[in-house]
Each structure stands twice: as structure tokens, then as C-alpha cells.
Chains A and B, each alone.
Chain A
Amino acid sequence: MGSIGLSRFLVLFCLFVPGRQLIAAGQLQGKVSDSKGDFLAGATVRLEPDAHVRVTDKDGGYVFREIFPGRYAIVVSLMGYRTVSGTVLVGKDTTVYYDVQLEEALLEEVHVTGKRTNVDNILGASESAQIVKSISKETIAAMGSRRLDEVLREQTGMAVVSDLGSGNRAVGLQMQGFSSEYITILINGQPMGGRHGGNFDLSRISVNDIERIEVIKGASCSFYGSEALGGTINIITRQTITAPQAAVGITQGTYATTDANLSGETPFASGNGFVSVSGNYYRTAGFNVNPYLENGKTAPPYASFGLNSRARWQLTKNGFLNFSSRFAARNSNMERNYGALPTADRLKERDLNAMVAWDQYLAGSSRWMSRYYFTRYAGEQEIRLTGTGGLLQQSDFIEYLHRFEEQYSLSLSDQRLKISSGAGVDYQRTQSKTGGAEGDMLNYFAYTQTNFEPVSSLSIVAGLRYDGNARYGGRLNPTAGINFKPTGWLGVNVSLGSGFKTPSYRQRYQRFTNLGQGYTVLGTSGIDAALAGMKETGDLQQVWAIAARVKDLQAESSTSWNVQLHVRPHKNLLIDVNGFYNRIRNLIVSQQIGIKSNGAQLFSWFNIEGMYATGLEGNLQWRAGGGITLSAGYQLLDMRDRAVLDSIRNATGDYGFVRAESGIRKAKVSDYSGLPNRSRHSGMVQAGYFIKPWKVNISLRTQLRGKYGFLDIDNNGYIDRYDVFVRGYVLFNASVQKKLIRNRLAVQLTADNLGNYTDYLMPGQPGRMVLLSANWTFTGKKKE
């Protein structure tokens, strides 16, 4: 929603001249120029919903001939300029003239500019109540990143952190303090599966086929689901097909990294359809940042293969068939030897996502979409002692999700009011060879959202979503946002989101025993029977009193508030300040409830009161002129567990003490430094330099992260100032890209982590990497 207001002052003006009679069907034409009035060649003009695309000629002109009469969204974009969008009405037997002025863009757009029509969803990210950050493929290309985790870890307020308690491979994204478990990862608006202990490893995803990434921080619900308590990452795969085109690219660099891409795309059926296919091969030898490790890697070596496709075909006058798919396979073998008892950790993943949709535009700017989505994730992991072959850990499961969804949107009052609704069901099933993790679930949902723009300076979004579960009942979640732009240089956005997450299958039913360590975790349902069973088999030594408090789990829920101030004191300067407050209730945690006969621990799950994450995020972008852009971002985060605060105040048990250097003393609230893995301060500074005559793009970037808690070493149950912290750090990244041979060849030299900074407490942060890549684009003849 912040973007709607923004787009209004970004679009300088759009000239709309009602047409004159020329030919039988409608025609749309115009000129694209820059802010000085010079015509721009090579700009892409796209008409939605038809996905007709033209590229402007040397005089900045474009023509769409013989198009159906009706209302179209028009999107004009050109590298280095802000994308502009608007609506045009093409009548029967008329020619409509639509001229556009583009303004030079800042390096990275914080907001989605313009109401981009989403081909996969009736609601675009820009219509969300929450602030949406969009990362374009140009930004990703300038960074020289290969995998999704590399892109996101450099964004303000985001970090990729290891979750060592969940395993040596467990890494996930953290956003506004929320861990990976609470962040929904979507591909073209549909959820991706394949989490290990709640963690979603983003390195599974190649950035090769990504058109843009849309990020919503905090709970948002409405159309992406209520489970995203902490935020949503939506990966939009390539969807603009301008002309027949093919590309081949290869990257080679440190840690035996190879990234090879091959893609092809073409319009068909006289421009009424398009298809694109791309393949990616990636391999890395992994790396080691642990000085104690004599042989082996702290970050796994792997080879991955991926295949993406998308097609859209206009089958009737206003109807489109959409198809998109992604398949990825990854094999990894990580060995570790600390000088004794070496281990081998093997992982095999197979990942499929596919969607078919019928997209129907109806009279009066209504739209209806019918979608079916399927995803399957199969993961096999096994950790064995190399010497004896003894099994330490095994997980072997397949997840399936089928989802049917109907969406309908209605625009009224000259598009000032848009009502979007939808409903669907999904069936989830998990098969497991490792016992106790099997199950299936039927979920159903319905939602509605209203976007209302009473005056051009004000827009209001209100939404409601109901999610239900055949076993767990249902829940209603509201969302709301308001965007106010009193003057041209100031905008305010206030949004509220909420979400809830039902306890997982594993938390309710699974009886899991870690082979290497011997501990057992019991699901809460039927725990009495499970304990009785263990007693009978002689597996139980002690059951603690706390075990009597195990009961059916409540769903976790969160409420997110965001307030953003958007200031543009000068044409070339953009400042955003965003305050956020996330309150999480009924958080589910594991706690020890007893001791097994083998001396290992027995755990179960409990709801605890919850925590809060609050903070400030600021972003600044400045177009300094001469092709130089500067940007900086900072996040201040405070995330604490309320129960810990209370326990320190009340000096409950061990919470009441800290082990200072001088000895044990009474704890103060100020000793508590918040949740582990969260930095109070983090940020980034980036500079981009585009040397136009040489077609050279230079990107210099730094990532900053303040110290963060790692491990409680005095057993008082929280991280205090005397515990183990990971030191704060600054990483430097650089990339230089040059285009040659009429932009067909792009050569890029990328260096990540120039200072070669590593720390064995950050097993997934590689040392210096230098990569060289070359990309060649074969362009077909442009269709007029």
C-alpha cells in the first residue's frame, strides 16, 4: 500500500488522448521519453492482462495494433528508470495515444512502484496492507548473487543464521527477529515445502529464473496465509517475455563453485501466448571455517540441478491459461573429522512445485482466477560414523500439498474501490520412513480484502481471512492498512497484520528419538499413554512434575504493527523510517519433562506466554548524480521473552542469578540481552556506479551486524552479558559488470567477503569468494 502512494508521485504525468477512428479493432500507441523530453529507445511496454509486449523504437515509439477493446493495465519499464504503470481504455475502432515520461531510477526500489498486475494472483503485492519491499532481477544481477540466501542476507534487517540445535545443516532466514520457522516462503504466491526442524534452507533456490522477490515483514495474512507470523518472501519467477530470446551463462569461482544457466523463451500464437524454460546447474565444494575441524566442511558441499518453466496463453478473448513449474534436485555429502570419530552426513532432496491457473477478465474490471497448485518435497538425510557405520541421525520424508483456490476481484467507482475475495482447500500429507512423523491434514480458507481510495492522497486496505483445519478448528485474522500522502514529499503508512500457526504434526503426535544423543521428544497428544508405554518397556528413569502440565497445545499467534514514514526531501533523496512491534503469543517451545533409562533427556512441548520483537528500520537512497547511487539501511531490534523478564524480576530459580567474572550475583533485567541469534544493531551501506558510455556497472556493498548472543553458559535459562556472543562484523562485497557486443555479452567479476572474515560460530558464512561469470543473450527479431 505504501507503494500506491509512492507511485503517484513517481509517475510524472501520463498523457491520455481519447482516440480517433482508424481501424476495425482498437489500437494503442505512444511515445516514451525521459524527464528532459528526449525519446527513449528500448523501453518495454507491456499490456496486462494480455501480456502483449512492445519495445520502443529509436524514436521512443510503440504501437499495439488490433487489440481487443477493453481496459488494460499498461506497464512501461527500462533499465535505469522507474517503472511506470497506468490504466488505458481502448475502445472499438479507435486509436488511443498514451505517452509516458520515465524518470531515472534510484539503484534499488524499496517499494514496488506502480500497480503491477500479478499474473498468478488477483492481488498484487502493491495492494497489500503492509509495506512491500521488492528486489528486482537487475539488483540481483548487479550483486552477482547465485543463490537466494546470498541475496536476502544483504538486505536491511534480514540475516541468514545457523540453528545448531536442529542440526549441522540447519540454516534459515531471520527477519524482524523472527526465525525461519515463522517466515513463509512462496513461489509465485504459493507455499514451498521442505523444512528441516522448521528451517527453510534458501540456498536450495537458484536466483537464475527470478523476476523479483517481494518481501513483507511481519504478519500480513489476507491472501498469503495466516501462518506467516514473521513475514513472507514471495519469489516471482520470470514473466515478461519481450521477444524470442535465449541466454547461456556460466560462473566459476572460489570453493570450486560452478553456476551454469541456460534459458529460452518465446511468444507464440501471434503473441497471444508465451513460454519460457530455464535450467540451472550449481555446485560448490563447501567450505570450512572451524579451526578445530581437521578435515571436512562446516558448510556442505553440494550439487544442484533445477528446471523452471512458465507459460501463459490467451485462449479466449478475456481468458488466459497459466502454467508454471519448478523442479530442483540437490545431493550433498558433508564429511567432518575433528581428529576422532569422523562423520558423514548425506542429504538428497527432490523438490517440485507446479501451478495451473485459469485467469478470466470479466466485464467492469472484474477478474476471476481458478488455481491448482501441487508441491512435493522429498528429503533423505543420514548421518553416520565413518568408522563403524553407526547411524547417528536419520530423517527421510516426503511432503505433498495439493491446493485448489478460487479468487474473484471487483473494481468499482473508477477503480477507487477494489474488493478481492477467495476461498480454497488444501490437502497436506507427509510420508516418513523414520517413524512417528506420518500424517495428513485438510485445511480450508477464505478471505476478502477491500482496497479503497476515497481521495488520491489516501488509500485504505482492510482484510479478513479465515483458516480452518479439519482437526484443529478455525480462526479469523484481520489485517488493515492506511496510506496517507498529505504532500508530494511525505507519505505515512500504518498497518496491522495478524497470524496464527497451528501446532505442527511433530509437536502433537510425533515420538522422536535422536539416535546420536539418545534424547526423546514426545508429542503432546496422548502423552500419558506414551509415558506409560515407556515405563512398561523400561525406558523411563524419572518423570518430572512438569510432565503433568503437558496439555493440548494452543495455536501460536502474532500481531504485527508497522508505522512507516516516507520522506522525499529532494527529487534524488528518499528516506524511509519504519517502526515495528510484533507480539507473539502461545509460543511453542520444548522443555525437559524427565530422564530416560539411558540417562538421556525426555522432552515435550509447551505453550509459553510469548515474546515481543520491536524495533526501527531506516533506509536511505540517494542518487548522487553522474551515475552514482548510494543507499544505506539500519535496523535496531529488541526481542525478548516476557517470561524471562518476569522470572528475572521475581528471581525465580536460576533466572535470578548471573555468573559475573567476580562470582555469582543477583540478576538484573538489564543483564538480559534478548533472544539468541538476534543482533541489536544491523545494517548495510551500498554504492552503485553506472558508467554509461562504457556500459559498466560497479556495485560496492557492506553488511554490518552487531554482536549477538550465541549460548547460555551459566544455565540460568537466558543470554546475559556474561554468556557467549558472536562478535559483530562488517563484510565487504563488490561486483563489476560490463556489457559488450550490443549488450549481448555480460561479463562480471564478483568478490564476496573481501576481508575474508570468518568465525567458527558462523559455520555458514564463507570466507572470501571471487567469481567470474559470462552471460550471452541470443535475441530473436523483435515483433512489432
Chain B
Amino acid sequence: MKQLVYTRCLLMLGLAAAATGCKDQDDRIGPDTRSTQVHDLPGDTEASIGEVQRPFYPLIFRFDDGSHQLIRSGADSLTYLQSNQWDIAFTGNYNSELFINNGTQRGNPGFGGPVSGTAIVMFEKAYDRVTEAPADQEFDASTITSVGWASGSGSPGWFFYSLDNHISVPIKNRSYVLRLPDGKYAKLEIQNIYKNNPPVVTDLYWPAPFLNFRYYVQQDGSKNLDTR
């Protein structure tokens, strides 16, 4: 029931509204005006898992100005990947697996590039309730190399695959705090890969990947991530 009330809220507020919904809203805190909401950023929508066996092109994204680029070829890789010009990359099936740019981690799209010291820490908390980045030791100790499909318990992934409906379902109240290439702290919530970020996907062929996520970068370099 709760989810449906929440659906209505979303529809009323417009689809770009925060995924935490208005029912849960803590009245003492104002609405989030600082975060950036990315709505329906197309990933590699031309790849299809089945008939066409082409892997999905990775999509790189910069928090600063929202610029993004699909890496379609080896030439693109050489031009864009080994640089500090991007923060996160959406890779793999339906561009659902997220990496933070890191030149030292094998398997990272930025491997071999100039970026180091970046890390991801997972929080079992709603995005709005994440108000502070953890200590640097926690980032240093983090073993998370990418965030995608939560294939088992203990996995830090942002979605799981529903066996009943054959769709990916975002895990609610799970957020990520990032230490970025420039050393700033950010928080991130990945909301959906389905177009229009519906609260529930009711179609096996709901268009994907259309990335919906929101983030906040603390520009002053502090660990304060309170966005309300």
C-alpha cells in the first residue's frame, strides 16, 4: 500500500521527484534542493542482450557538468577512458554496473589512467538520511570495485533481478558515498535503468537502459553531505 501512495506522490511531483517519496518525508527537514537529479540518461539502447550479441557500450559521466559519453570503439576508449575527465561509468548489461574512475583497479574502465584514491562505500540508508561521508580509513578499506547486480546476500549491488517478473528491481534505501578523483565527497543513489523511472515495472520490454540517478557533490571538500 505504502508503495502505491508513494506512486501517486511521484506522479504528482513529476517523475524527476526524489525516489524516497513524500510519505517517508521527515517533516522537520526541508526538501532536497541541492542534489542533481538525472532523468532518463540513455545508455546503449541499441544493444540487445539476445539476438545481437554485441556487448553494451560503456557510458561515462562527469558530476560537474553532467557531461557524458558512450564509448563505442577502441578509439573512444583511448580518447576518453584513461583520463580524469569522468567520475563514474555505467557498464555491462543494460549499463547497470557502475564503476568509479580508478586507474589502479584492474577491470576498471579507467585502469591505467591517472586517477587514484577513489572509492565507494555502501550505506543501507535512504539517500536523504546519508548526511556525512565516512572517515577516509573506511574508503581506504572498502573492497567495493563496482556496484551493479546484487547477486547474493552481502553484495553491495544497487539492484536485484526479480525471478517472478524478470526485471531488475532497485534495492530500496541503499545509497553510496563516493570519494571522487579530485578528492571531494559525493553521495549517489541509482534509481532505475527503466525509462521514466516507474515505481514498478510492469512490462518485460519496458525500454532500457535509461539511467535515473541523483547525486550531490560537496564542493567545499568537507564530509557534509546533508542535502536538506
Residue in A340, A591, A595, A725 whose beta carbon sits within 8 Å of that of B1 in the complex: A725
Within 8 Å CB of B171, what residues of A?
Answer: 659, 713-715
Within 8 Å CB of A654, what residues of B?
Answer: 153
**Given A165-B163, A341-B45, A663-B125, A390 contacting B203 (CB threshold 8 A):** no
Name B50's closest neighbour in chain A (CB-CB): A515
- What 0/1 readout, one digit per residue, does chain B (77-111) give for beta carbons within 8 Å of chain A? 00000000000000011000000000000000000
Chain B proximity of A603: nearest CB distance (Å): 8
Chain B residues 181 to 216 lying within 8 A of chain A, measured CB to CB, are: 195-196, 198-200, 202-207, 210
Contact A168–B2 (Cβ < 8 Å): no
Chain A proximity of B194: nearest CB distance (Å): 9
Tally A-B pairs: CB < 8 A.
143
Does chain A have a CB within 8 A of B75?
no
Does chain A have a CB within 8 A of B131?
no
Does chain A have a CB within 8 A of B62?
no
**Given A513-B50, A515-B50, A715-B160, A707 contacting B206 (CB threshold 8 A):** no
- What 0/1 readout, one digit per residue, does chain B (131-174) give for beta carbons within 8 Å of chain A? 00000000000000000001101000000111111100111110
Contact A601–B161 (Cβ < 8 Å): yes
Binds B, one of A186-194, A216-224, A516-524: A516-524
Does chain A have a CB within 8 A of B48?
yes
Chain A residues 585 to 609 lying within 8 A of chain B, measured CB to CB, are: 590-592, 595, 598-601, 603
Chain A proximity of B191: nearest CB distance (Å): 12
Contact B200–A514 (Cβ < 8 Å): no
Chain A proximity of B158: nearest CB distance (Å): 11
Within 8 Å CB of A536, what residues of B?
Answer: none
Contact A392–B50 (Cβ < 8 Å): yes
Does chain A have a CB within 8 A of B220?
no
Chain B proximity of A723: nearest CB distance (Å): 7
Name A728's closest neighbour in chain B (CB-CB): B1
Residue in A336, A338, A598, A712 whose beta carbon sits within 8 Å of that of B162 in the complex: A712
- What 0/1 readout, one digit per residue, does chain B (1-33) give for beta carbons within 8 Å of chain A? 111100000010000000000001000000000
Chain B proximity of A438: nearest CB distance (Å): 21
Count of interface residues, chain B, beta-carbon cutoff 8 Å: 47
Does chain A have a CB within 8 A of B53?
yes
Within 8 Å CB of A722, what residues of B?
Answer: 2, 172
Contact A518–B49 (Cβ < 8 Å): yes
Does chain A have a CB within 8 A of B65?
no
Chain A proximity of B97: nearest CB distance (Å): 9
Residue in A517, A599, A715 whose beta carbon sits within 8 Å of that of B166 in the complex: A517
Within 8 Å CB of A603, what residues of B?
Answer: 163
Chain A proximity of B201: nearest CB distance (Å): 9
Contact A340–B92 (Cβ < 8 Å): no
Contact A338–B207 (Cβ < 8 Å): yes
Chain A proximity of B118: nearest CB distance (Å): 24
Contact A519–B169 (Cβ < 8 Å): no
Contact A661–B24 (Cβ < 8 Å): yes
Nearest 4 Cβ contacts at the A-B interface: A518-B49, A515-B50, A715-B160, A341-B207
A-B contact pairs, 27 of them (CB 8 A): A164-B202, A165-B162, A290-B203, A336-B203, A336-B205, A338-B207, A341-B45, A341-B195, A390-B48, A390-B52, A392-B50, A516-B204, A517-B49, A517-B204, A518-B50, A590-B163, A598-B55, A661-B2, A663-B124, A711-B165, A711-B169, A715-B150, A715-B169, A724-B3, A724-B4, A724-B200, A727-B4
